[in-house]
């Protein structure tokens, strides 16, 4: 998101930062309005995406066209290749428009894709439908994993559908009431007994959701690939400590590039001011 890049600029006063964020959101919303208008009138054929020996088809939606460059999700693709096992299923929490879901489908037993943003889910559903060769291997769920079950307010600081929707933005102008479900109830409802990999990218909602998953993670020890968003946390240090309390059940914590990380390093100033990805596992990164 454009606004995220602006938030992370350093050396500015709070007034300047807020101004840059507002300007970024303004131009980003204009971009969304224009591309959605063009999509309505211009019907383009699907496009084929090829990554690391795998291929799949996606909608040539102008709003998302810039996301399909070869640098997008590069580390995530490599981590899926490394840890996803064809004998087990994987759960994608925050599936967005389906890049990781479609990439993982050929190399996993089954993908459970969870996405509560209705705009992103519509695109996810469209992209999955363009790949009939994965029929039966991808299961879509328009739900929000939460610390409790029931209807929940879910929002976005822009127009939605841009990978930036979160439980933390419930009070934003763009918001929806969606179906919420705890992770344990999702597991039981879908009778999942073979998950060995979980990807979680929920724009700060991990501070709410991850502690509620602790018992499951402790019992089953799936590899956890987590995108952390401390700048979105209400209290970055306290919320990071809650996440650390969960991650300490694993023997190894790695960066998205495979570098070993000490849990206390996550409380450093640099980490608390930036987004980052980590892999929690009992396995060794060879």
Say whether both 2 and 89 belong to one domain. Answer: no
User: What pLDDT, on the 0 to 100 scale, is given for residue 40?
Assistant: 77
Beta bridge partners of 114: 93, 141
User: What pLDDT, on the 0 to 100 scale, is given for residue 2?
Assistant: 33
In a domain, 275, yes or no: yes
State the pTM of this model. 0.89
User: What pLDDT, on the 0 to 100 scale, is given for residue 21?
Assistant: 57
Say whether both 130 and 25 belong to one domain. Answer: no
Output 139 or 163, whichever has higher pLDDT: 139
* Best CA proximity match to 180, nearest among 199, 167, 193, 169: 167
What tens digit of pLDDT does each residue of 2-61 get? 333 333 434 445 545 555 656 666 666 787 778 877 877 888 899 999 999 999 999 999
Say whether both 204 and 230 belong to one domain. Answer: yes
Report the mean per-residue pLDDT for the chain: 90
What tens digit of pLDDT does each residue of 89-127 get? 999 999 999 999 999 999 999 999 999 999 999 999 999
Range of the domain at 1: 1-43
Sheet holding 138-141, edge to edge: 138-141, 110-114, 89-93, 195-200, 223-228, 276-281, 252-255
User: What pLDDT, on the 0 to 100 scale, is given for residue 10?
Assistant: 43
User: What pLDDT, on the 0 to 100 scale, is given for residue 22?
Assistant: 62
> Is 111 in contact with 92 (CB distance < 8 Å)?
yes
Say whether both 67 and 32 belong to one domain. Answer: no
Say whether both 27 and 139 belong to one domain. Answer: no
Say whether both 29 and 114 belong to one domain. Answer: no
In a domain, 236, yes or no: yes
**What does the alpha-carbon distance between residue 194 and residue 215 come to, in Å, rounded to a whole number?**
16
> Is residue 260 scored above 50 in pLDDT?
yes
Least confident of 34-43, 120-129, 229-238, 244-253: 34-43
> Is 236 in contact with 204 (CB distance < 8 Å)?
no
Say whether both 83 and 99 belong to one domain. Answer: yes
Q: What is the mean pLDDT of residues 182-195?
A: 97
What tens digit of pLDDT does each residue of 122-146 get? 999 999 999 999 999 999 999 999 9
> Is residue 205 scored above 70 in pLDDT?
yes
Say whether both 194 and 136 belong to one domain. Answer: yes
And the tokens for 110? Answer: 């089954």
Say whether both 104 and 195 belong to one domain. Answer: yes
Percentage above 90 pLDDT, the chain: 78
Say whether both 251 and 147 belong to one domain. Answer: yes
Say whether both 162 and 27 belong to one domain. Answer: no
Say whether both 161 and 28 belong to one domain. Answer: no
In a domain, 256, yes or no: yes
What is the total count of domains within the chain? Answer: 2
In a domain, 286, yes or no: no
Q: What is the mean pLDDT of residues 220-235?
A: 96
């Amino acid at each position: 998101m454009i606004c995220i890049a602006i938030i992370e600029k350093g050396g500015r006063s709070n007034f300047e930062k807020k101004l840059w964020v507002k300007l970024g959101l303004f131009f980003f919303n204009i971009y969304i309005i224009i591309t959605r208008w063009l999509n309505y009138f211009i019907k383009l054929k699907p496009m084929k995406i090829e990554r690391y020996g795998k291929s799949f088809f996606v909608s040539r939606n102008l709003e998302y066209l810039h996301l399909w460059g070869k640098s997008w999700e590069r580390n995530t693709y490599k981590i899926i290749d490394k840890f996803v096992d064809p004998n087990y299923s994987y759960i994608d929490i925050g599936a967005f428009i389906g890049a990781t879901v479609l990439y993982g489908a050929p190399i996993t037993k089954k993908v459970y894709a969870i996405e509560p943003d209705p705009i992103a889910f519509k695109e996810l559903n469209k992209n999955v439908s363009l790949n009939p060769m994965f029929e039966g291997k991808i299961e879509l769920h328009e739900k929000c994993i939460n610390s409790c079950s029931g209807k929940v307010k879910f929002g976005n600081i822009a127009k939605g559908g841009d990978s930036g929707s979160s439980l933390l933005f419930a009070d934003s102008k763009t918001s929806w009431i969606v179906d919420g479900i705890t992770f344990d109830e999702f597991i039981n409802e879908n009778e999942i007994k073979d998950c060995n990999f979980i990807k979680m990218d929920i724009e700060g909602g991990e501070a709410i959701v991850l502690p509620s998953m602790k018992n499951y993670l402790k019992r089953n020890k799936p590899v956890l690939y987590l995108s952390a968003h401390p700048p979105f946390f209400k209290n970055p240090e306290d919320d990071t400590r809650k996440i650390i309390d969960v991650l300490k059940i694993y023997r190894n914590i790695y960066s998205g590039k495979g570098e070993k990380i000490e849990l206390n390093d996550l409380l450093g100033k640099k980490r608390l001011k930036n987004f980052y990805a980590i892999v929690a596992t009992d396995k060794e990164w060879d």
